[in-house]
Copies of this chain bind each other. A is one copy, B any other.
């Protein structure tokens, strides 16, 4: 069923029908009612492409799927997407996921823009000098960044306080009496990773604790690297009595390493993990319950969609910056260091 046919059925012009359906004010109430009824009855809904072609707005925002096994696509992704969807449904917008072709991400972004398939773009997992941000800013294409960069040109972003999260966690451990603290975080280069390391370093330096470079690990997020790296760390003498984990998955591996070394978690070795909040993996429910730096990535997704809508509505991007504080949730996986029983 197309507009023309619907209009003929009703004995009205396409224009009037279109106006009635799109909520224009000048339509007679009775007419509008009649039109709605008919549209309902015939299951009419405008051809999105024709509509878009005519109005020039797309009604979709884009996100590029990395082709390789990037950290940008992990267990947090579904939560982030859920958050986006929640918000986008309010605006009747879709989310277009475009696979990047031939591993050339920038080209994929350019194509996405020039082919006019989306109104705006969401970028995640930036590096400090992210070239996607540079390119999109230059191209003046609307986007919101999840994370931050060091790029000066104004652009919209929302980030969590990663430095603060790790600074707070490390400080807390130092308060508890720990002096050998390690961190196992995500790959180097990513802003969040760099910021977390900064926060960690600040906390140590502030309290006059020397930074041991062997204790700073940057690796892919997985239980496996958590396990192996923690095993390595615990084999040093002295070994760390506390470990900061960049993700819940990493933490799971670290837990195993601690147990397999015969240490008790939360006593001989403490762990604090960053928690994106997954409905299927609950820190408070672990044994012992896990101390975390918590920040809902679902909420971030939802908010970012909202911000992008504001950008699309013309709000200047220099006004759109948000840093979300991260909560330190104290539970049982962290405590004062206890000397190993021998």
Please, how many angstroms separate the alpha-carbon atoms of A78 and B52 in the complex?
29
Answer whether A96 and B278 are a contact pair too, CB < 8 Å, given A89-B101, A285-B223: no
Interface flag for A73 (CB, 8 Å): yes
State the Cβ distance, A223 to closest chain B Cβ, in Å. Answer: 5
CA distance A39 to B179 in the complex (A): 61
The residue from B1, B88, B111, B222 contacting A282, defined by CB atoms under 8 A apart: B222
Nearest B residue (CB) for A98:
B94
| A77 touches which of B45, B81, B252, B282 (Cβ 8 Å) | B81
Is there an interface contact between B65 and A114, defined as CB atoms closer than 8 Å?
no
In angstroms, Cα B103 to Cα A115, docked, is 32
Contacts of A82 in B (CB 8 A): 65, 69, 73
Q: Does A236 contact B (CB under 8 A)?
A: no
Least CB distance from A79 to B in Å reads: 8
Could you say which interface size class chain A belongs to?
Answer: 35 or more
Q: Mark A95-121, 1 if CB is under 8 A from B, else 0.
A: 111111100000000110011110000
Complex: how many Å from CA A115 to CA B81?
23
Residues of B within 8 A of A43 (CB): 110, 114
Residue of B nearest to A286 (CB): B256
Interface residues of A in 207-240 (CB under 8 A from B): 220-224, 227
Contact B67 A85 (CB under 8 A): yes
> Chain B residues with Cβ under 8 A from A89's Cβ?
67, 99-101
A53 within 8 A of B: yes
A77:B74 contact, CB within 8 angstroms: no
Expressed in whole angstroms, the Cα–Cα distance for A95 and B99 within the complex equals 8
Decide yes or no: A48 and B97 within 8 Å by CB, A278-B75, A287-B259 being known contacts.
no
Whether B280 lies near A75 (C-beta < 8 A) is yes
Whether a CB of chain B sits under 8 angstroms from the CB of A49 is yes
Residues of B within 8 A of A187 (CB): none
In the bound complex, CA of A97 to CA of B260 (Å): 43
The residue that A78 contacts in the complex, of B50, B77, B100, B221, with Cβ under 8 A, is: B77
A47: nearest chain-B partner, CB-CB: B116
Residue of chain B at shortest CB distance from A108:
B89
Offer 14 A-B interface pairs, CB within 8 angstroms, sorted by A: A48-B116, A48-B117, A49-B117, A60-B96, A69-B279, A75-B75, A77-B77, A81-B97, A86-B99, A89-B99, A94-B99, A220-B280, A222-B279, A222-B282
The 5 A-B residue pairs whose C-beta atoms are closest, nearest first, are: A89-B99, A77-B78, A85-B99, A222-B280, A45-B114
